[in-house]
Amino acid sequence: MTTSVYARALGDRFGMLHPELRRWFDSTTSVSGHGVFSEVGPRHRWLRPAFAAASRIGLLFAEQGRDVPFDVTMSPAGGNTVATRRVLHFATGSRVISDTTRVARGRLIDAHARGRLKVEMTPDVVDGALIVVSARARFMLGRCPCPVPSPRVQLRHAWDETREVHTIDVSVRVPVLGEVFGYRGHFVGPHA
């Protein structure tokens, strides 16, 4: 029997997820959804040039928006890995946030920026929602992992019983500045 990356990372806690989240995260085939981010992007205008530079290596982006439609697909990416691709449809064009996730020692390892940035994440379940918090990050210089100061990344993925939608809230925070990037909204799915 094949077990999903998230089921392996959470172990017995996986059963504490809301049934709709278990349905999404337990899939070992491709699933997709579509929704709207009520807000997305950098939180400070003066940081936009830094995010524009980071977008060249596939790490976040500089656009800001409200009520931005998006599509999300989560697919097996070989062996022990799942790939997630989010396509955000801004009025000026589409932006993509992609990462791959695998499990190591009960933690999720997210690879961003085409595999150059690896962020170790600690998953948990609170009131049926998946909570994932960054623990440490490494930037790959060739095959050499170099520790880097890591912003605090927190993801909350829950189920809204009233609207019958997945809700997502991602926040990237750094000391002194607080939240520097984030996105929050909802989507419907999975669609196989």
Q: What is the pLDDT of residues 80-119, one digit of tens each?
A: 899 999 999 999 999 998 999 999 888 999 988 878 888 9
Give the chain's mean pLDDT.
90
What is the rounded CA–CA span in Å between residue 144 and residue 105? Answer: 20
Q: What is the CB neighbour count within 10 angstroms for residue 97?
A: 20
Q: What is the separation of C-alpha 88 from the centre of its chain, rounded to a whole number of angstroms?
A: 13
Say if residue 117 is exposed, middle or buried (CB neighbours under 10 Å; 0-12, 13-18, 19+): buried
Length of the chain: 192
Q: How many domains does the chain have?
A: 1
Owning domain of residue 48: 5-191
**pLDDT tops 90 at residue 141:** no
Task: Annotate 16-53 with b (16+ C-beta within 10 A) or e (fewer).
Answer: bbbebbbebbbbeeebebebebeebbbbeeebeeebee
Tokens 């990050």, located at residue: 137
pTM of model > 0.85: yes
Per-residue confidence band for 191, with pLDDT thresholds at 50, 70 and 90: low
Q: Give me the half-sphere count of Cα atoms (radius 13 Å) on the Cβ side of residue 19.
A: 2
CATH code of the domain in which 38 resides: 2.40.128.20
Query: 53: left (phi > 0), else alpha (psi -120 to 50), else beta?
Result: alpha
What is the rounded CA–CA span in Å between residue 127 and residue 107? Answer: 20
What single-letter DSSP state applies at residue 51? H
Q: What is the CB neighbour count within 10 angstroms for residue 177?
A: 11
**Residue 29 vs residue 124, higher pLDDT:** 124
Per-residue confidence band for 1, with pLDDT thresholds at 50, 70 and 90: very low
